[in-house]
Amino acid sequence: MIVLGTPLRPFSGGQPVTYAPDVSRRPKAVVPLLAIGLVVAVMARLMLGMGELAWPGDPQVLGLRWHRAAMACVCGGALAVAGVLLQTFLRNPLASPDLTGVASGAGLGVLVASFASFIAGQTLSPLLFGPAALAGALVTLGLVGSLARRGGRSDPIAMVLIGVAVGIVATSIGMVIQHLMPPDPARPAIRWMIGSLDEQLPGWIVGIGAGIVGAATGLAMAFGPSLDAASMSDEEALSVGVRVRKLRVWMFVLAGVLTSVAVVFGGPIGFVGLVCPHLVRSAMGPSHRPLLIGTLLAGALMLVTSDIVVRCVSFQYGRLPVGVVTALVGAPILVAMLRRGVGAWGA
């Protein structure tokens, strides 16, 4: 729907054309409710101890719980926002960092760097986790994008299917690398295979990750009206002045950066980037500025809640990885989406 509204910046090419999406579904209570839910979940995670729910008296214990809650918030928010960008980029609500192979590619980047460091007799520095994950994510996105091009254009459905195949290959290569490494050096690799928050990351890395996610989300919100128009076909987006190719490059890079942060914090955790954008979009409508805020909060809420489940469910030989919990929640929602025929915009 092309109406007089918010100017398309910064990808409008200076044209005075404007675009505004349908805002008939934008309950103002959604974002406050998500924020309240996140605060409650974080407080519950801080109070949850060994079989009891109480505020910890030991400052060191409180600090450890804050550290894990902060990692869950940053990781979940990064995956959710990356999911929004990929779904807009592909015009397909089934796109997400895990289904398009981006998360697996980022995890493989870290594993390859870890294996190379092991061969060299060194230990991979935490400072190199991010660049290695980003390289893997961008290479995967580039590979999937190039393979999905037909007649000079990207096929959204083919890109998702190719992404699944590339993700499976990346996971398989990661398993080979894990098999080639001795048990102790290979132990961190297991986390990147199944998804589990890394409590060994220093607090300053968590702070940097939070800053990156905040900056990337803010930048995506600045592109909000252009992202609204990009949800249409290329011809329609171009007709209202959006420079589609340049916008897609930015979405490409931002999705890769956000996925890399999430992989460094918790490995290729699945379904967060699929479920949260879909549910928030259903509640708030398609306008990207409020959608990005709501999805960021929903992603953080989903992962903190999943971590609470991890803490509550204990087995004789250890605890569930948080990636298993998100899969148990997200898989039924994915099946429901497929049964409803949700495979493209407007379905």
Per-residue pLDDT band for 341 (boundaries 50, 70, 90) equals low
Are 329 and 275 in contact by the 8 Å Cβ rule? The answer is yes
Residue 76 pLDDT exceeds 90: yes
Are 65 and 227 in contact by the 8 Å Cβ rule? The answer is no
CATH fold for the domain made of 33-44+59-189+199-339: ABC transporter involved in vitamin B12 uptake, BtuC (1.10.3470)
Sign of torsion, CA 156 160 165 171? positive
The structure's pTM equals 0.84
Mind giving me the DSSP string for 92-127?
-TT--TTTTTHHHHHHHHHHHHHHHHHHTT----GG
Q: For the chain, how long is the longest CA-to-CA vector?
A: 64
Task: Return the closest-CA partner of residue 99 out of 47, 171, 18.
Answer: 171
pLDDT of residue 50: 66
Per-residue pLDDT band for 18 (boundaries 50, 70, 90) equals very low
Which of 71-85, 154-168, 245-259 has the least mean pLDDT?
A: 154-168
